[in-house]
Structure 1
Amino acid sequence: MNRDNTPPPVLPAELPPDAPRGFMARFRNYFLTGLVVAGPIAITFYLTWWFVTWVDGLVRPFVPIAYRPETYLPFGLPGSGLIVAVIALTLLGFLTANLIGRTLVDLGEKLLGRIPAVRAIYRGLKQVFETLFSGQGSSFRRVGLVEFPSPGMWSIVLISQAPSEEVANNLPGQEEHISVFLPCAPNPTTGFFFYVPRSKIIEVDMSAEDAATLIMSCGVVQPGSDGQKKVAALAGMAEAARVANSGTLQPEAAKVE
């Protein structure tokens, strides 16, 4: 109230300071919202398509022409090679489970074991596949932090198994060591493998999938973040811009009338 008891003038409602204005601001928000929604879907479909065509290219030459779908269809059928590969691997596992298949596999392993160069590669790959796909054990299923590459700097590692007796006996100190794999960003398939004392590892309550996502995104996507919330936030900003611009245009429209 003023001194003459006149009420203060009513000011128009001010827009939030963070509300973007103008056509370009709305265009930017809409574009970012569409990019956040369509980007992951497009990349997922692209990687799936690449994998399917890659498997088709490997399997199709082994399939007789009479059994290929394109022989009877006017177009190729993507994924036919992948279906054949899945069926073939399932049959191979079924045959290996019985006595005859087990005997044949043992015979093949003995033949490969007599080749010096191939023996080490085959045994190493077999142990890796048995560990990763057996569904047992905890290799690369636990995530930890290790002080690397210098004191005060911490890196995410995937915890593997304890070293063998031969390696453990040659490691310095009396403390138990553990083997870890430190993936590199943004390609987690490459990295460093080393042994570290168990007390130097800080185990983190995080899944291996979340750790891989964190590494591939170089820290942009943090564990526990919800992508849908980000999309909703961008959509909210776009809606706020639309409302703000429509609100500023209403007085002008009233004047014209």
Structure 2
Amino acid sequence: MLRVRLTLKGYLVTGFLIWLPLAVTLWVLDLIVSTMDQTLDWLPGSWQPQSLIGFHIPGLGLLFALLVMIFTGAFAANILGQKLVGFWDALMGRIPVVKSIYSSVKQVSDTLLSGSGQSFRKALLVQFPHQDAWTIAFLTGHPGKGVIEHLGGEEYVSVYVPTTPNPTSGYFVMVRKADTHELDMSVDDALKYIISMGVVTPGQKTR
């Protein structure tokens, strides 16, 4: 009887390990598609797919959002588009409260997504949360002039220390450059290492 229980437990764990990655993947994809489908609400009621063809097509909102972003990027690439984007940025920068949020988000997105940006380009090993512990962090830049004045003569770097298994939250800290070690791994491998809580090591193949 005990052996049967152990066998059933083994089958249960094996089945769980097989279905869990698939279930999470499908859940994330469904969340993305359902969220992007809401962009169709921007269209007038008579232009929405439900009104034109009589039924809802899952994923059509995602396609619509991608097309909007592609056409927006193509339009902003020419001289007229650049002038309009500059005018829009200037307009948003004059609205109280809105300008603080808009300018902050724009600066972060431009830094992270720009091809010429250097943020999140290097994975570092840093001491955190104390000197006897080490964790993986990402280089985000260097402290500003007003901060450097209070840090002494040593060189400091700004790093982002993500939490696990959710790397979208974390800590922004400034550490001595001499106390960091640049890792020979890509940012993607470092993120996988963090999300898996150290289970999936860089270079390890997943089954």
TM-score calculated relative to the size of structure 1? 0.72
For residues 77 and 89 of structure 1, the distance between their equivalents in structure 2, rounded to whole angstroms, comes to: 20
CA deviations on 1:10-49 (whole Å, 9 max, x unpaired) are xxxxxxxxxxx94444433333333222211111111011
Aligned residues: 206
Question: Is the aligned partner of 1:52 residue 2:27?
Answer: no
Question: Is the aligned partner of 1:30 residue 2:38?
Answer: no
1:93-112 equivalence runs, <5 A: 93-112=73-92
Percentage identity across aligned positions? Answer: 36
Instruction: Give structure 2 stretches of 5+ with no counterpart.
Output: none
Quote the offset at 1:119 in angstroms: 2.2
Name the residue aligned to 2:146. 166
Name the residue aligned to 1:83. 63
Q: Which is further off, 211-220 or 125-134?
A: 211-220
SS of structure 2 residue aligned to 1:160: strand
Name the residue aligned to 1:157. 137
Q: Which has the higher contact order (CA 8 A, sep 6+)?
A: 1
Opposite residue 35 of structure 1, the aligned amino acid is F
TM-score calculated relative to the size of structure 2? 0.88
Equivalent residue for 1:205, pick from 171, 178, 184:
184
Quote the offset at 1:141 in angstroms: 2.2
For residues 74 and 104 of structure 1, the distance between their equivalents in structure 2, rounded to whole angstroms, comes to: 37
For residues 28 and 149 of structure 1, the distance between their equivalents in structure 2, rounded to whole angstroms, comes to: 38
For residues 47 and 68 of structure 1, the distance between their equivalents in structure 2, rounded to whole angstroms, comes to: 25
Equivalent residue for 1:223, pick from 189, 202, 206:
202
Equivalent residue for 1:125, pick from 102, 105, 112:
105
Opposite residue 28 of structure 1, the aligned amino acid is K
For residues 17 and 116 of structure 2, the distance between their equivalents in structure 1, rounded to whole angstroms, comes to: 37
Relative distance call for 1:111 and 1:74 in structure 2 (3 A) is closer
Instruction: Give structure 1 stretches of 5+ with no counterpart.
Output: 1-20, 229-257
For residues 48 and 96 of structure 2, the distance between their equivalents in structure 1, rounded to whole angstroms, comes to: 39
Name the residue aligned to 1:17. none
Name the residue aligned to 2:156. 177
For residues 90 and 67 of structure 1, the distance between their equivalents in structure 2, rounded to whole angstroms, comes to: 20
Quote the offset at 1:190 in angstroms: 1.4
Equivalent residue for 1:135, pick from 91, 95, 115:
115
Opposite residue 135 of structure 2, the aligned amino acid is S
Relative distance call for 1:31 and 1:225 in structure 2 (3 A) is farther
For residues 129 and 27 of structure 2, the distance between their equivalents in structure 1, rounded to whole angstroms, comes to: 35
Opposite residue 199 of structure 2, the aligned amino acid is V
